[in-house]
Each structure stands twice: as structure tokens, then as C-alpha cells.
Structure 1
Amino acid sequence: MNEQQRSIVHMDLDTFFVSCERLEDSRLNGLPILIGGASDRGVVASCSYEARKFGIHSAMPMKMAKERCPEAIVISGNSANYTKYSRMVTDIIQDAVPVVEKSSIDEFYMDLSGMDRFFGCYKYAGELRRKIMKETGLPISFGMSVNKTVSKIATGEAKPNNQMNIIDGAEKLFLNPLSVQKIPMVGLKTYQTLCNLGVKRIGTIQQMPLEMMESVLGQNGIAIWKKAQGIDNSPVIQYNERKSISSERTFEKDTIDVVRLKAIVFALAENLVFQLRKEKKVCACVTVKIRYSDFQTKTLQQRIPYSAADHEIIPMVMNLFEKLHNRRLLVRLVGVRMSELVHGNYQMRLFDEGSRLATLYHSMDDIRERFGERAIQRAIGMQVKRIGHFNPFRGETPMIVANRIV
């Protein structure tokens, strides 16, 4: 379908964590709220609009945020509730829209192309927004245009708790006066580079030659230039709750060594959680699989709040293995699967630990990136010589067969 005929909607739940907390306790309404680690070493995961008036933003050190707004209420957060409300909204949208992409725990893209002849896309999206607010109590905003980039920026301009439609042909005019920081792929470093060139508004990029942007920022410069012109042909990718990554180990010789089996299951889980963080994803379901020597296969799964944190997921995996391994037979295969994946921030489950665990995971992941995925590991998994290298997000085979165990 031609881009000019598309109707793309971007919906984003407003200050999602804060809104969930206010549903649980209405006394928080209208007050400055900080979600995150309560200690001075913690970080702000989310904050209310009342707190933002003091210059507070996500990822700010909690100590600095409390200095700027001493009267702010600090809440450690309840990720189980956030997961519950996210699923409620997802179910409503999936029932109403033919093509929906869940890009994060609180963010959705929808392709309503072709629905104008039946409903009127903007009217339909508005009715869907009202239905979400009525059935969940959560405020939500959306932007609509012919592509994902302009719709996402429009959502930001519509907030809080509102909606906006950028009609076909008005994309450049809408983007012209906005800060270049509004372009989704422009981070702090890129923004500073552009500011050094005297470029602070999208309209300036619109007037620049493509070759100049390419010479300064390479391929990213080309992408940013196109987005500044309101050009984005990327499709809405259908969201599938069953999207997953998995890793299995089939033994050269069946084993009944429980210590060895636990070590392998632990190592498989540890590797998969690293892959989640590497791809900036979180999961909401973990599954453990055992195949015995008589080829009888058993699986057990558990739904969890969205996470990609070792201390949350790995104990759950090991608990599932303990429950599942209940036959005195040789084991032929063990496996771990993590499903219901969405893009997300693994720090969501680090509220109580503040920045300490976030720093630890970042350091561990950096070592693995530089020296290999088994360069740093916990003691329980050290007897597993290697897990194997694959990228489950790029279509590579996640099955691990007959690896040597030391």
C-alpha cells in the first residue's frame, strides 16, 4: 500500500507507572510522585507531571530529584501491577485492531489503513482511546499520521491525556518548529553534535542537504534527515504474545546427575537473560523443559512481571526445574524458554536495589560483549564449559545439541 494512504496510530499510556499507582491509591492524585529506588543511590524510573515541573525526569538520580522537589512522594514501585495493567490494555487493543505492534510495556503502534471506508480512522482511534480509559482507568494519548515517526512525535505533542491527527501532506509543517530531540533516534550525543552545527529545530534539518547530514552523522544522518522530512516507510509489525527465545541441551549420554543438570539449567537461563538485556527486551513468561530417556517430555511454565533481571528470572527457572524433575530416570534433554517478549527496560524491577544492581548488570554485560558470553559467570554454572553462541533475535537456531560438558 502506498505510504500516503496509510493511517498509523501511536498510543502511549501517560506516566504509566504513576498512573497505575494512582489507581491503587487515589490519595496520590495531583501530588508530585517519584517511582524508583528510595535510597540516595537509586534512580527515577518514572515521575508524575507535577514532579516534572521541578525539572525531574526519568533516569535522574533519586538524590537529585528529592533535592529539587523535597515534598515529592517516593514509591518503590510494583511491577506485578504494571504488568497486569499493561496486559489489560493490550487485550483491549488486540480485540479492536487488526494489526498492532506492542513496542514496549506502555506503547503501541496500530495500522488502521483501509478502515476509513467503514469507520473513519481518527474517530475509531478516539473511541478506542476512550474505551481503554473507561475499562482500565488509565490515561492514554495518541497521535495519528501516515507513518510511525510522525505519529509517535504527535503523541508526545498531544500529551497529557489527549489526541492529535496530522493530516496527509502536513507532516513537514507539523515537524518544522519542533526540537530535533523530538526525533526518536536523536539521543543526547547526537543532539550535542547537531547543536554544535547550530541545528536545534527540525525545520533546520529539513532545509539542509542530505549529503551534509550524511557527512556529519553517516548512515544515522540519512535516517534522521528522512524522519525530519516526515518520511518513514517502516511497517507496523504484528505483535505476538508467543514470541520467545529458548535454549536447549541434548546430552551425548543420558544423565541422572542432578548437580550437573541444575548447573546446565542455570547456565542456559543466565545466557538467555543476557540475550534479553542485549536486545533491550523483557519477558513475562518462563518455561522449563525436561525430556527423559524414555522420550517422555515434561514442561512447566510461570507468568512473571516483565523483567530481564538475573535475580528475578533465574530463581524462578530453578524453582520450576525443582518442581518438574520428579522422576528417577536418566535425562536426555533440558531446556529453558522465555516468552511474551516486548521491548523494555530491565531496570523496571530494580526499584528496591537502586542503581547498584543496574550497575552490576551493565558491567557484567559489558565484559561478556568484549570477551565472550562465558567470560563472567556464577559459580554454579562454571562446570558448563560453553553454552554455544547464537542470536535468537536474528533467526539463528536456538537449539544446542551435544555440547561437551566438563
Structure 2
Amino acid sequence: MKRTILHLDLDTFFVSCERLLDSKLNNKPVIVGGTGDRGVVSAASYETRAYGVHSGMPAKMARQLCPHAIFIKGNAGTYTKYSKLVTEILQSDVPVLEKASVDEFYADLSGMDKFFGCYKYATELRQRVIRESGLPISFGLSENKTVSKVATNEAKPNNQLKIETGTEKQFLAPLSIKKIPMVGEKTFRAFCNMGIKTVHTVQQMPVEMMTSVFGKNGRVIWQRSNGIDNTPIVEYHERKSISSERTYGRDTIDVTKIKTTLAAMAEDLAFQLRRGGKLASVVTVKIRYSDFQTYSKQIKIPYTSADHHLIPTVQELFNKLYDRRVLIRLVGVRFSGITSGTYQINLFDDEKRTVSLYSAMDKIRLRYGSRSVVRASALGEGARSVGNFTNPFNGEPPIVLAHRTQ
């Protein structure tokens, strides 16, 4: 049976979400990401791309290229909500869905031509997403994932493109080799050094030459350049880890500040676990020094979503990890080994009031924002930019909770 693979991508997703919340941003140059000079561009509107701005670029450079752009820090909770909404729409309408990222999806429509017409079905699906979410979305349709993804990128912004079976090589040939998935900046520079800039040139090369230069990846790039990709759709499944990172505006050696940041991260991630009905069994802490040397340490623990178990574990890992006494640039926390479940009372360590306290705290956070109620250990300069700093109390600071378990 002929395969039919649909690739969908929400256009400038973070920017589009911000524009839903504030229509004044429409048709204006918008950049979402770190607002300081050491921040990174997470998403850039098409208006800024004309100036050379792109995601992954240092915010300082983006500001120099497009000084009139509107910089927005962004809110992960908002983007997660809209991503989940689009995921639910797609899951209800397609047989097999793969969620490649927060804003990118693949769907296997093989066999549906006989009953619906895949292109017509995909068009109606795209219109439904636009109608129900308010977000612009593009799609590419072909017989495999690579060609569909490239077609989506060619269709943008907010459009669609179908590549007929048998025309894959012809479609790819005039494009830059950089548009083939797997070809990053380093590989692209290697191609340029060889005098190769278009997919057509790679299509004419013997596969043996590609493997001699790029190893096993050379064969994959050659196949994809020729429109060959048998990669299956990996059905969507729930994430197995959640994480948070912070890059300081100025490298620091202030251990109190760093520990406050880590406590705020752990508290916010623990709330996310409980909100999603999840438990974590692995805790990882990462630090990056001012010389960009990066180290991490992890530990396996009993399944939990409780702050008073997770925060001390994070602090303990940091104490073991931080041994160079060098300025720190970045810190991060990750909870993994996630499974479904709710926090249970430990008969030896906890009291019923502990669980009741978490329930009360979470109700406040769900209503007013994840940073509306915090522990004293997670409050301070180091906690800035962690979690959702929605100000729910008409200008009042968040509730500070100093909680100690027995």
C-alpha cells in the first residue's frame, strides 16, 4: 500500500500564541526569548526574519539586527496549553499521530485516499486547527516524512503543499542542501567547502562518496536528498521528563542565589508533576561554568512529586556537583523516569496535613499562577525568571510559604 505522510507545523508558534493574547502584536516584528543580552531567541516573527533574525540566535545580535523589534520573555505554560489543544484536535481526527515537538506533528494517512482523499482531508484538518485554536499552521503531504517536512517549510507561512508520488526528486533538486533534515550548520559548511550547495548535486553523487566523507550519515543524507525515507511514524506518547534551566545575566559564584534558583525550579517542576498526575523517579542537576564546561549528576529515588523530597535531593546533587568554585553561567533541573500516579503519604516521613497542604497550595497555583504561592527557600533574587510570575493579587507580591515537615 502506498504511504501518505502528513507533516504539520505551527507557524512561529510562540509568536502566534503571544499574538492571540495581544492583537496589538499583529504584523509587528516580535521576538520571543531571553530579553537580556545573554538570552537566546526562541522564536522570531516573519517580520524580523527579513533582518536576518532567526531562532537560536543570541538576543544581543537580534537586537542589533532589528532594533525596533518587540522582545517578549514568553510563558512556557501558555505554549504548553496551546500545544496540548492542537494535539487533542489532531489526535481526534487522524489514525496515527506523532508529536515531533511542541509545535510539529506527523500523521499517517495511508489508505485514506480510497475513502476521503488525503489532500482534501488534510486541508479540512488544517482549517479545523486554525478555526478552533486561532493559530496559523502549515502542512506538507507526500509519501514520506522527509519530503513532507521539506514541503511544509516551502509552503510556509500559513499554507499547504502536496508533492505527488514520483516527483520527490524533482521537487527537492533545486533546493539548498541545507533544507534537508540532518544537514546542520557544520555539515552545510562541509558541503560548501566541497562546492556543493544544492540537493541536485548530491543526487548526482555516488552514495559511496557521501559515506566516505560523512560516514553513515552520508548515506542517510544521500537517501533523503533522493526522496527516499522509510522512517515510520512513532505514535505519540506522553513525555518522560520535564526540565527547567536558567542562564544568569551575569556569571555568579553566589551559592545562596544559585540554591534559591534550584529550589524555585524544583518547586515549579514538582507542581507540574502533580498537576499532570505524574510521579518522577530520577532527579538530574546540571551546571555550566563561565568557561562553558558543563557537568551533570543524577540520582534515582522512590517515585514522588513532593517538594519536600525533591528539593533536598536537588540541593544535595548540587553540593556534590559544584566542586570547582568557578563562576556559574547556567543551572538546570530535570525530573525523569516519569509515570502516572498521585503522591501517596509515606507512613514514616509524612503526615496527612502535608498532603492537605500540597492540595491547598496547588489549588491557589492553578487559579493564580505557579508562582503565586512559594516556599521561603524558593524566594529571592535567584528565583527570578523561574516558573510563571503571573501577579495575581493586584500588585501584591506572591504568598511566601515557609513549610517544614516533621
TM-score of the two chains, using structure 2 as the length reference: 0.65
Structure number with higher relative contact order (C-alpha < 8 Å, ≥ 6 residues apart): 1
Distance 1:127 1:318 in 2: 39
Query: Contact 1:154 / 1:165 at 8 angstroms: preserved in 2?
Result: yes
Distance 1:361 1:183 in 2: 34
**Cα offset, 1:273, TM superposition:** 5.0
2:190 paired residue number: 193
Distance 2:12 2:269 in 1: 31
- Match of 2:147, as an amino acid? V
Q: Deviations over 1:284-307 (max 9, x none)?
A: xxxxxxxxxxxxxxxxxxxxxxxx
- Match of 2:215, as an amino acid? G
Q: Does 2:324 correspond to 1:380?
A: no
SS of the equivalent of 1:115 reads coil
**Cα offset, 1:363, TM superposition:** 5.2
1:170 paired residue number: 167
- Match of 1:179, as an amino acid? S
**Cα offset, 1:313, TM superposition:** 5.0
Distance 1:244 1:75 in 2: 29
Distance 1:319 1:12 in 2: 29
2:201 paired residue number: 204
- Match of 2:126, as an amino acid? R
Among 81, 84, 91, the alignment partner of 1:87 is 84
Distance 1:57 1:141 in 2: 18
- Match of 1:336, as an amino acid? A
SS of the equivalent of 1:110 reads strand
Query: Contact 1:20 / 1:85 at 8 angstroms: preserved in 2?
Result: yes
Distance 2:233 2:3 in 1: 11
Distance 2:4 2:217 in 1: 26
Distance 2:146 2:169 in 1: 12
Distance 2:270 2:145 in 1: 40
Q: Does 2:222 correspond to 1:225?
A: yes
The alpha-carbon distance between structure 1 residues 311 and 120, as it changes in their structure 2 partners (threshold 3 A), is farther
Distance 1:192 1:312 in 2: 41
1:314 paired residue number: 266
Query: Contact 2:263 / 2:314 at 8 angstroms: preserved in 1?
Result: no
The alpha-carbon distance between structure 1 residues 63 and 168, as it changes in their structure 2 partners (threshold 3 A), is same
**Cα offset, 1:39, TM superposition:** 1.3
**Cα offset, 1:311, TM superposition:** 6.3
Matched residues, percent identical? Answer: 52
Query: Contact 1:175 / 1:203 at 8 angstroms: preserved in 2?
Result: yes
Distance 1:203 1:81 in 2: 42
Q: How does 1:1-150 map to 2 (within 5 A)?
A: 1=1, 5-150=2-147
- Match of 1:7, as an amino acid? T
Query: Contact 2:243 / 2:269 at 8 angstroms: preserved in 1?
Result: no
**Cα offset, 1:359, TM superposition:** 5.1
SS of the equivalent of 1:172 reads helix
Q: Single out whichever of 33-42 and 211-220 deviates more from structure 2.
A: 33-42
Q: Does 2:249 correspond to 1:244?
A: no
Q: How does 1:237-386 map to 2 (within 5 A)?
A: 237-241=234-238, 243-244=239-240, 313-316=265-268, 336-337=280-281, 366-368=294-296, 373=298, 379-381=315-317
- Number of aligned residue pairs: 290
Distance 1:358 1:84 in 2: 29
SS of the equivalent of 2:74 reads coil
The alpha-carbon distance between structure 1 residues 310 and 85, as it changes in their structure 2 partners (threshold 3 A), is farther
2:177 paired residue number: 180
The alpha-carbon distance between structure 1 residues 319 and 126, as it changes in their structure 2 partners (threshold 3 A), is closer
SS of the equivalent of 2:100 reads strand
Distance 1:45 1:223 in 2: 28
Q: Deviations over 1:336-384 (max 9, x none)?
A: 259xxxxxxxxxxxxxxxxxx99569957x434xxx757xx96424799
**Cα offset, 1:244, TM superposition:** 2.9
- Match of 2:240, as an amino acid? S
Query: Contact 2:266 / 2:314 at 8 angstroms: preserved in 1?
Result: no
Query: Contact 1:34 / 1:75 at 8 angstroms: preserved in 2?
Result: yes
The alpha-carbon distance between structure 1 residues 173 and 310, as it changes in their structure 2 partners (threshold 3 A), is farther
Distance 2:186 2:218 in 1: 13
**Cα offset, 1:17, TM superposition:** 0.3
What's the RMSD between the two structures over aligned residues? 3.2
The alpha-carbon distance between structure 1 residues 139 and 59, as it changes in their structure 2 partners (threshold 3 A), is same
Distance 2:109 2:270 in 1: 43
Query: Contact 2:177 / 2:183 at 8 angstroms: preserved in 1?
Result: yes
Query: Contact 1:244 / 1:337 at 8 angstroms: preserved in 2?
Result: no
> Unmatched 5+ residue regions in structure 1?
246-271, 277-308, 323-334, 339-356, 386-390, 394-406
Distance 2:18 2:86 in 1: 16
- Match of 1:177, as an amino acid? P
- Match of 1:121, as an amino acid? C
- Match of 1:151, as an amino acid? S
Runs of 4+ in structure 1 over 3 Å off = 309-313, 316-322, 357-364, 381-385
Q: Deviations over 1:142-195 (max 9, x none)?
A: 000000000000000000000000000000000000000001100111111111
The alpha-carbon distance between structure 1 residues 92 and 119, as it changes in their structure 2 partners (threshold 3 A), is same
TM-score of the two chains, using structure 1 as the length reference: 0.65
SS of the equivalent of 2:195 reads coil
